[in-house]
Amino acid sequence: MAAIVGPKNIVTDADAMVPYLKEWRDLFRGKAQAIVRPGSTAEVAELVKLAARTGTRLVPQGGNTGLVGGQIPIAEGREIILSLQRMDKIRAIDADSDTMTVEAGLTLQKAQAAAEGAGRLFPLSLASEGSCTIGGNLSTNAGGTAVLAYGNARELCMGLEVVLADGRIWNGLRQLRKDNTGYDLKNLFIGAEGTLGIITAAVLKLFPLPAARATAFLAVPSPEAALALLNTAKAGAGGTLTTFELMPRIGVDFVLRHASGARDPLSEPSPWYVLMEVSSQSTTGLDEAVEAFLGEALEQGLVTDAALAGSLTQRADFWKLREMLSEVQTYEGGSIKHDVSVPLHAVPEFLARATAAVEAMVPGCRVVPFGHLGDGNIHYNVSQPVGADKAAFIAGWSAMNQAVHAIVAELHGSISAEHGIGRLKRDLLPGVKDPVELALMKTLKATLDPQGILNPGAVLAM
């Protein structure tokens, strides 16, 4: 491998390997023989050919920000991590076609900046955007806060370049909005977490920058009211609804307690809040339209109080309440996480049933469910009771997951809405998947990676 990438692009020193092997929340440490850092698609292809010839297991890695251990080998340490970070070129920006062709190792933030430099929007937006990479975003079909209007990473990709398990390169870097010439291979690799092929480059969709944007922080009486508000906002908030995030009072309390400079935009506390953003391609009239919409929502009782951001600073303040929600939970002791989705209509029922279940399991636990209501995707996090033993609470992680996931299953939902399966949720899959679907997945894996050298143990058991 050193002969392919050059000796300085192989890392075997234990300390130097740590950044590639350490999970960022320190949930676990991985093990690997080495890290190899190719600089081109041709080098990736040569590496995979060599791996295929020698039966060497490869774990592709981007920014190492994944939340389910898809990017870190945790088995006996025979794996080699194939880091795409050196492949960070922007190959082309074609503003007339609203496309951008980039390599897999480019960070999301640099992709966003490049689009903006060309007067366009690349809408994918995640907490980890400073370090996560486009290859990782596509391999995990990343979601984030702009899915409601623009879709998941899958919907933002027009074409791919992929190195297959035998080292062949599939060049599917198409810039076409319509192309019906055969099977859709692209979507097979998107969301496959590097187990079917290694994404080396992609054509991304660009959008016009919004001409105007209105951001509102809203007090809502209940999840039911939030859902009704969502449906009226989609139809008539005066523009394109781009954000609709649900937050409970306790989450806002956590942020106000732990995040410096955070403040409550509203004078009275409310059991629930919605952060709503509406975009428009018209420079005029949006604020007035959103104000009129909110006036009606107040009259109907869907909203009990509202603040509309009057400046970019105020907008940033509203967003801070949402963005700090994950971090502040760490200051409140142990937190058991779920990344679930259900059909939109079922979100209120899910919240009620899951909360009854976990409160019965751990009396005094503090439920902090928040997230992308517009996508039916709730980060259903549960903080330990005040003063309880953290380790004892965390020891109940699996049991609580099981109880929550059982309710998700009854409501025809998903146990991983946007984070993927990786290694952490792999063994949950047989319990929640249709057996025919799981069998099809295994058939595809055996067909496209018969030796099992690509990210073994992720998504499917070896």
Minimum distance from residue 357 beta carbon to a copy of itself (Å)? 21
Question: How many residues appear in the chain?
Answer: 462
Using CB under 8 A as the binding rule, whether residue 211 contacts a copy of itself is answered as: yes
Choosing from 134, 198, 255, 417, the residue that interacts with a copy of itself (CB under 8 A) is 417
Which range of residues in 28-36, 244-252, 319-327, 415-423 is near a copy of itself by CB under 8 A? Answer: 415-423
Binding mask 380-399 for a copy of itself (x = CB under 8 A): --------------------
Among 26, 313, 412, 462, binds a copy of itself (CB under 8 A): 412
The binder of a copy of itself chosen from 240, 304, 314, 355 (CB under 8 A): 240
The only residue of 3, 14, 235, 462 in contact with a copy of itself, by rule CB under 8 A: 235
Q: Is 77 in the site for a copy of itself (CB under 8 A)?
A: no
Q: Does 89 bind a copy of itself (CB under 8 A)?
A: no
Selected from 91, 155, 314, 406, the binder of a copy of itself by CB under 8 A is: 155
Residue 328 touches a copy of itself, criterion: CB under 8 A: no
Segment interacting with a copy of itself (CB under 8 A) among 28-36, 104-112, 297-305, 436-444 = 436-444
Q: Is 372 in the site for a copy of itself (CB under 8 A)?
A: yes
What is the total count of residues that contact a copy of itself (CB under 8 A)? 95
Please give the span between the terminal C-alpha atoms of the chain, in angstroms, as a whole number: 24
Of these, 3, 54, 178, 299, which contacts a copy of itself (CB under 8 A)?
Answer: 178
Q: How far apart are CB 262 and a copy of itself at their closest, in Å?
A: 27
Q: Does 23 bind a copy of itself (CB under 8 A)?
A: no
**Nearer to a copy of itself (CB atom), residue 8 or residue 412:** 412
Which CB sits closer to a copy of itself, 127 or 250?
Answer: 127
**Interaction with a copy of itself in 111-130: which residues (CB under 8 A)?**
none
Would you count residue 202 as binding a copy of itself (CB under 8 A)?
A: no
Q: Residue 418: exposed, middle, or buried by beta-carbon count in 10 A (0-12, 13-18, 19+)? A: buried
389 or 427: CB nearest a copy of itself: 427
172 binds a copy of itself (CB under 8 A): yes
> Which is closer to a copy of itself, CB of 298 or CB of 438?
438
The nearest distance, CB 180 to a copy of itself, in angstroms, is 5
* Min dist. Cβ of residue 179 to a copy of itself (A): 4
Measured CA to CA in angstroms, residue 408 lies from 377, 378, 393, 402 at distances of: 11, 11, 22, 10
Q: Which of residues 250-269 bind a copy of itself (CB under 8 A)?
A: none
Our finding on whether 462 is near a copy of itself (CB under 8 A) is no
Residue for token pair 């054509």: 203
